[in-house]
Structure 1
Amino acid sequence: MPAKLPVAETPEILPRPDFHFTGQVGRTFKDSDPATFPQPVQPSKGAPNIVLILLDDVGFGQFSTFGGGVPSPTMDRLAKEGLRYNYFHTTALCSPTRAAIITGRNHHSASFAGITEAATGFDGYTCILPRNCGTVAEVLRQNGYMTAWIGKNHNTPTWETSAAGPFDRWANGLGFDYFYGFNSGDMNHWHPLLFENHNLVPASDDPDYHLTEDLADKAIRWVRQVKSIAPDKPYFLYVAPGATHAPHQAPQSWIDQFKGKFDMGWDAYREQTLERQKKLGVVPKDTLLTERSKGLPAWDGLNADQKRLYARMMEVFAAYGAQVDAAMGRVIDAVKELPDADNTIIIYVAGDNGSSAEGGLEGSLNENLFFNGFPEKWEDNLKAIDDLGGPKHFNHFPSAWAHAMNTPFQWTKQVASHFGGTRNPMIISWPDKIEDKGGLRDQFLHVIDIVPTLYEVCGITQPREINGVQQKPIEGVSFAATFTDGKVQSKRKTQYFELGVNRGLYHEGWMASAPSFIPWNPNRDENWDPDQQVWELYKLDEDFSQARDLASLHPDKLRELQDLWWVEAAKYNVLPLDWRGTIRMNAELMGRPSMVGKRTKATYYEGMVALPGAACLPMLNKSWTITAEIDVPDDKAEGMIVTQGGSEGGYGLYLREGKPVFVYNYLGMERPTFTADAPLPKGKSKLVVDFKYDGGGMGKGGAVTLKAGGKTIAQGRLERTVPIQFAIFEGLDIGMDTGSAVDFTYPMPFKFNGKIERVEVEVKPGK
């Protein structure tokens, strides 16, 4: 029989009281009792090590362990020694799922109804993690664990991600002793902006650098280091790589392995995947393949060039996924070499939501176009087919491939009403405790159930107070019993779903689903009426894939679940419903907090790098002026003076061969460039870029004038400008270019070889 789980014996109030010497104290140490020291907190006897892996934007039918076409030997290995869960659910979007997985509360309860870049001022929508939702890392840390977070952090408010902090909602402030990763939803895998704890990490000079491998290396380094120092102390390692979220970027050697393997197209892929899923037993034998979601094209209706382009995009995506699973395998190998390896629980969650349809119907070379509300044309993307996956593009495959990755379900990421958006594979390995090697579990679970499960297996009492703050009750329920009993009934009877008014409710085997907006169109009608939403009804024990809508046959049951949805929504801060799209990405229009405040001028100095966009003056949809005071060493001076953004959008002012250059990157589609005819003379110079906005709405054009010493040296027009955001994750740099290049005509980091006295940016609201 397997050993029993640790008995909960930890305090309900954290931290523990300060140490107080209770012996006799005399006039001197000679007539006092022997001194004693406060001892380190000891974890519960038998408490396991924990490795939590959370991949990004993964569909149920993506990886081979669950029948998909992307090989996943690491998942296979863990599944053979552990358990597969095929009824595990997420929230349909990254930040919400990530808030839920570290707090054990529903995403609205934890104030994460959406991504941090789209926060609003309602309780469930601020994206400010409440202090009454203490994290699992904070609780484990105060109960004797070593803790680390490696990879993606998308749970810090955007306006708090600059060097000015505050840092209490960075990973280190959320209970993690060590952090190495990035503070955004997307990240360029060739030229990332990374932080180690609170410090910006210098760009790598390795020509073969790739973020996925770097994150695996850092996870291995940390866990080896701490176990070498404290072999008897348990650890919690949370690894959240950026794959397979856009941009889909992978080494060419990985991409080449998939050449021709997806020429069958997305419709045939779905059919083949379902057959594999049935053979593996991860879906019931009678599972039906749902219809292609409304609006997605049939593969057979495409022309030859479209098929060639889209197949290549899928090859890149498959390479990206295969690489991350292999990298996680290196982490697992390192873990299994450590002391107490068999008492390590490994939770491998394949996706924080379903596969992403944000590449649009025709695929994308720059996902920032989606967030600015613009579709792309396949004819333009075809020209870049040989560069896909490399550093030049922020590419993303078409929506129909995302739908195929979610086989056998309907819909995709963002659609919380259906399992294409919310059902993700989960694998759990724990050699010391799990005897049913290779077993399958079909209890209905939600991501909020992981925290209470960890508390139970670690022998931890759920704290009612942390750091002086009364805690909101954990809303998840433990599924630890499933480790030893495959037939145990699920404790979860009800679970609401909501994201962008895509709504759903699970209750005692039934699922009511109400889709609203299609995920590949970011533009929403503000006059849309949620009361006109059409609800569907499914009986899950007879219909694993949500293929048979029973709404017309059971109207009373549907009405019951609709009413219950509103009860749950009121209970968990889901209200008010908010379906606005790209407009929520504009911090200025939404009135989100900002380090800028109401200032219209800001002065920056050399050495300021990676200042997040949320901490920069808002330069969109208005006039502005950049003034740079520099000292030029000679008439061949080179380097970046000021830039904001990167390859997916932004601007840059730099010198090349002594000549001032201003470039405006319009979302990677065009880069109007204004270059002086002659180099600047040696010595001090004042460069001015003045932009006069045409006005008349968002994204309009305007006149650009470049001056040196008060004289015009270049001028022209921008016919259109970025309306919502310059870039997804890149900010402002002075004296060099971090992250990716705003254009591809200079070598990174293009450090200025002169001296920059100051750079002033002034915005002129109103036009």
Structure 2
Amino acid sequence: MTHPIQPAPFEGRIGRTLAESEPHFTSSPHPGSDAPNVVIVLLDDTGFAQFGCYGSDIDTPHVDALAAGGLQFTNFHVTPLCSPTRASLLTGRSQHAVGMRSVSNHRTGFPHQLGHITNHAATLAEVLGEQGYATFCCGKWHLAPTEDISAAGPFEQWPLGRGFDRFYGFLEGETDQFHPELVVDNHHIDPPGGPDGGYHLSEDLVDQLLRMISDSKGVRPDRPFFAYLPFGATHAPHQAPQAYLDKYRGRFDEGWDVVRQRWYERQLAQGVIQEGTQLAPRNPGVKPWAELPDSHRRFACRLQEAFAAFLDHTDDQIGRLVDGLRQMGQLDNTILIVLADNGASQEGGPFGIMHEMKYFNGIVDDPDDVMDRLDDIGGPNSHTNYPWGWAQCGNSPFKWYKQYTHEGGVHVPLLMHWPAGIAGDQRGTRRDQFVNVSDVAPTVYDLLGIAAPDVFRGYAQLPVTGNSFAPVLADAGTPATNALQYFEQSGSRALVVEQDGVCWKAVTRHIKGESFDDDRWELYELSTDRSECNDLAEAQPDKLDELIGLWWAEAERHGVLPLDDRMIELFVARRDDHSPHPTNRRYRYRPPMSPIPSAASASPSGRSWELTAQVSRGADDAGVLWATGNANSGMSVFVQNGRLVVDYNSFGEHTVVESELEVPAGDCVLTARVQRTSRTEGVIELAIDGEPCGSAELPYMMHIISSIGSSVGLDHGQAVSPRYEAPFAFSGALHAVEIDRSGASRSEAETAARTEMARQ
């Protein structure tokens, strides 16, 4: 007996002939011809004071114009770290509840740190896509487990797996702005240009996003779009075109004390902060500018100039985006939101850094030693971050930085521009109501008339716990809709609550490794003390105890527990315990291959290892067999002029060893071995077909080589070695490259993990 195949449900009628049948056409969801577009522009590590309209004298005319033509929020809060903020922004829920208490680089085995957003929390892109919106993402993702971001996937947590139709950008926590590690949709690509041709990632991201929008609107003008533009700026490395760097020469020679005071006074004059708000004292470790040696001042000024140039350049790209939307006739009915993911970064340390990999190898730059490289700062041959003094200046008037739950880490800019939806008499006004990043998605849903689903693609959905602030758009006097908000990052905690018209904050700065029960809590009345200068903990212990109790209740509600202050240890655990890329694995690569991100590649950092390449070559064949890193630091194994060559690039100091024997024509096996001989020294040994043929002492063996990944058969991106121009692809037949690092110790892996935290 045969059984008919059951078709999908059909609402027409099927007879024996067409005449006896009735067709039925399903229609795709459509939000309506007047539905607004939504654009969210996210900046990275940009402090509260760093836009011109928030107090700085850095040139940001395009962001300032959006504030003048829209609404400027002066009491907006985020999480203190990038991945958690992004998860909360895109879901309308707390970061812990959706599985992203920290960066996506690791998982802990607990629900609050999955390394990705749980499928029980649909993203804005997923929800709006189901409503008929086109959805685009261009920029930094950092919401997928980094062990899963190679060309091997899996791809479920990449942007296309979480609701975006198109993606162009990078998946990790940072990238080089001149030589980015790019992904299009679900595959890795080489950048379309380099710095010599005027390439810069921020410009490329806006170009790509405008093209996506134009493609969509050109063919489907009736279909609205959601565009998410998370710039790599202003996260380190601070890199900008030379014209922008030149523009800021000498602009900060007065030093951070004078500049911070000036920005604070501008904030008061602009009304960005309330009258009576104090300028917080210098953070511990920030020296008075007058006490710094001349070389320290010169170094610090150049680093701040690079940051300012980077922000100025990013502002110009925002201007290009706005102009593009205007030219397409889309600007008036576009809800355009601009915000930052956390406060300014402290990851440059007390003096600033010329090269982050040097810093995370435990080497502190002596400003006297970098005087001859000042002109490199901000360009393609640097990887800089500014010192604490400039970071606190960027967070004016607050204390502390990114990664802290004090205001300097969580209080950032937010702008909203929507000509069709914001009344003319409200444009250019400010909103001082407390708003949190989890409130953004519910506000978008509210403005679009959309309800977040209870079930999405078979997954029961967590409740949307953010609060729509749509009511405050029309009336500056409307009470805040969010009256209770917790914060937590690596054990540092805070709670903000409004009670009887008074806004209170309890906050503690946890010291890693110490008992959470011993943390000292502080108490502030934010209504009159936004900069947390007057601690009321001793004067009002009952109020403090009440708020601490509320924090624990919110922690239970949002899945914050268990408290966990691990960071470096988590990177080690990821690689050793449950990652497909453990530290002791033997890797075998067969070209052609896409570039391999650092979290998924065979990193030889700080350990003994051996590379073996099986090749077949003609007499003139040459090229790179394997490379990792870039011109700032890295290592390359290549054949050139008939010799096997290794260039070990230790922060610009090159140890080059060349084989004493020629590489024979035909089939052969080439070996490069790095032996660690002490904590900081090693030796490179070469062999051809098993015969030793060269060695060199390594005066400094890097514990961390680079945040840039590896390539097989060529050197993608910026060349590691000055002896060739990238990509210098091997012109013979490269059958396989095998890397054996099975002797790696756990202590070496712990050292290797230290770089990851500052890259977020």
Q: What residue number does 2:731 align with?
A: 753
Counterpart amino acid of residue 368 in structure 1: M
Q: Is 1:464 the counterpart of 2:454 in the alignment?
A: yes
**Maintained 8 Å contact 2:33/2:223:** no
Q: What stretches of structure 2 of length at least 5 have no aligned partner?
A: 1-6, 746-760
Superposition deviation, residue 694 in structure 1: 4.5
Say if 1:644 and 1:132 are closer, same or farther in 2 by CA, change over 3 A: same
Say if 1:373 and 1:448 are closer, same or farther in 2 by CA, change over 3 A: farther
Superposition deviation, residue 280 in structure 1: 1.2
Q: What residue number does 1:418 align with?
A: 406
State the distance in 2 between where 1:276 and 1:650 align: 44
**Which of 223, 229, 234 is matched with 2:224 structurally?**
234
Superposition deviation, residue 68 in structure 1: 0.9
Say if 1:445 and 1:258 are closer, same or farther in 2 by CA, change over 3 A: same
State the distance in 2 between where 1:19 and 1:550 align: 66
Q: Is 1:557 the counterpart of 2:543 in the alignment?
A: yes
Spell out the pairing of 1:728-747 with structure 2 (5 A cutoff).
728=707, 730-747=708-725
Q: What residue number does 1:704 align with?
A: 684
Superposition deviation, residue 720 in structure 1: 5.0
Q: What residue number does 2:198 align with?
A: 208
State the distance in 1 between where 2:170 and 2:303 align: 25
Q: What residue number does 1:12 align with?
A: none
**Which of 299, 303, 312 is matched with 2:293 structurally?**
303
Q: What residue number does 2:750 align with?
A: none
State the distance in 1 between where 2:379 and 2:619 align: 35
Say if 1:373 and 1:531 are closer, same or farther in 2 by CA, change over 3 A: farther
State the distance in 2 between where 1:669 and 1:555 align: 55
Q: Is 1:151 the counterpart of 2:130 in the alignment?
A: no
**Maintained 8 Å contact 2:575/2:583:** no
**Which of 208, 217, 222 is matched with 2:207 structurally?**
217
**Maintained 8 Å contact 2:584/2:744:** no
Spell out the pairing of 1:307-706 with structure 2 (5 A cutoff).
307-349=297-339, 351-371=340-360, 374-415=363-404, 417-435=405-423, 436-508=426-498, 509-517=503-511, 526=513, 528-586=514-572, 591-594=577-580, 596=581, 600-617=585-602, 619-620=604-605, 622-634=607-619, 637-647=621-631, 649-666=633-650, 668=651, 670-694=653-677, 701-706=681-686
State the distance in 2 between where 1:679 and 1:101 align: 58
State the distance in 1 between where 2:85 and 2:722 align: 36
State the distance in 2 between where 1:200 and 1:52 align: 24
Which stretch of structure 1 is more off in the superposition, 222-231 or 624-633? 624-633
Q: What residue number does 1:727 align with?
A: 706
1:106-128 CA-to-partner distances (Å, cap 9, x unmatched) read: 11112112212244332212312
1:727-763 CA-to-partner distances (Å, cap 9, x unmatched) read: 32x2221111113333444312222222212111122
1:711-731 CA-to-partner distances (Å, cap 9, x unmatched) read: 2111234455444x5432x22
Say if 1:571 and 1:370 are closer, same or farther in 2 by CA, change over 3 A: farther
State the distance in 1 between where 2:198 and 2:600 align: 32
Say if 1:656 and 1:539 are closer, same or farther in 2 by CA, change over 3 A: same
**Maintained 8 Å contact 2:107/2:574:** no
**Which of 264, 274, 279 is matched with 1:284 structurally?**
274
Secondary structure of the structure 1 residue equivalent to 2:13 = coil
Which stretch of structure 1 is more off in the superposition, 112-121 or 189-198? 112-121
**Maintained 8 Å contact 1:702/1:720:** yes
State the distance in 1 between where 2:93 and 2:631 align: 37
Counterpart amino acid of residue 143 in structure 2: N
State the distance in 1 between where 2:584 and 2:249 align: 53
Secondary structure of the structure 1 residue equivalent to 2:588 = strand
**Maintained 8 Å contact 1:149/1:237:** yes
Superposition deviation, residue 428 in structure 1: 0.3
Counterpart amino acid of residue 125 in structure 2: A
Q: Is 1:269 the counterpart of 2:259 in the alignment?
A: yes
Secondary structure of the structure 2 residue equivalent to 1:116 = coil
Secondary structure of the structure 1 residue equivalent to 2:336 = strand
Secondary structure of the structure 2 residue equivalent to 1:239 = strand
Which stretch of structure 1 is more off in the superposition, 732-741 or 283-292? 732-741
1:386-418 CA-to-partner distances (Å, cap 9, x unmatched) read: 111111111111121111111110011111x21
State the distance in 2 between where 1:70 and 1:569 align: 39
**Maintained 8 Å contact 1:496/1:505:** yes
Say if 1:700 and 1:387 are closer, same or farther in 2 by CA, change over 3 A: closer
Secondary structure of the structure 1 residue equivalent to 2:692 = strand
**Maintained 8 Å contact 2:615/2:668:** yes
Say if 1:641 and 1:161 are closer, same or farther in 2 by CA, change over 3 A: same
State the distance in 2 between where 1:354 and 1:745 align: 41
**Maintained 8 Å contact 1:640/1:737:** yes
Superposition deviation, residue 320 in structure 1: 0.4
- Quote the RMSD (CA, aligned, Å): 2.1
**Which of 95, 104, 108 is matched with 2:92 structurally?**
104
Counterpart amino acid of residue 506 in structure 2: A
**Maintained 8 Å contact 1:186/1:242:** yes
Q: Is 1:715 the counterpart of 2:692 in the alignment?
A: no
State the distance in 2 between where 1:551 and 1:203 align: 53
* Percent of pairs with identical residues: 36
State the distance in 2 between where 1:647 and 1:581 align: 28
Which stretch of structure 1 is more off in the superposition, 329-338 or 650-659? 650-659
Spell out the pairing of 1:115-130 with structure 2 (5 A cutoff).
115-130=103-118
Say if 1:647 and 1:500 are closer, same or farther in 2 by CA, change over 3 A: farther
TM-score (norm 2): 0.92
Counterpart amino acid of residue 376 in structure 2: D
Secondary structure of the structure 2 residue equivalent to 1:680 = coil
Secondary structure of the structure 2 residue equivalent to 1:98 = helix
State the distance in 2 between where 1:371 and 1:112 align: 25
Matched pairs, number: 731
State the distance in 1 between where 2:160 and 2:666 align: 45
**Maintained 8 Å contact 1:188/1:739:** no
**Maintained 8 Å contact 2:623/2:714:** yes
**Maintained 8 Å contact 1:153/1:184:** yes
Q: Is 1:58 the counterpart of 2:55 in the alignment?
A: no
**Maintained 8 Å contact 1:80/1:437:** yes
**Maintained 8 Å contact 1:365/1:395:** yes
Superposition deviation, residue 175 in structure 1: 0.3
Secondary structure of the structure 1 residue equivalent to 2:673 = strand
State the distance in 1 between where 2:612 and 2:729 align: 19
Say if 1:149 and 1:87 are closer, same or farther in 2 by CA, change over 3 A: same
Superposition deviation, residue 571 in structure 1: 2.3
Q: Is 1:257 the counterpart of 2:242 in the alignment?
A: no
1:549-598 CA-to-partner distances (Å, cap 9, x unmatched) read: 1112111111111222222222222222222343434455663422x469
Say if 1:19 and 1:55 are closer, same or farther in 2 by CA, change over 3 A: farther
Superposition deviation, residue 364 in structure 1: 0.9
Which stretch of structure 1 is more off in the superposition, 212-221 or 107-116? 107-116
State the distance in 2 between where 1:642 and 1:223 align: 38
State the distance in 2 between where 1:744 and 1:95 align: 36
Secondary structure of the structure 2 residue equivalent to 1:112 = coil
1:16-37 CA-to-partner distances (Å, cap 9, x unmatched) read: xx9843233322110122x121
Q: What residue number does 1:84 align with?
A: 72
**Maintained 8 Å contact 1:587/1:614:** no
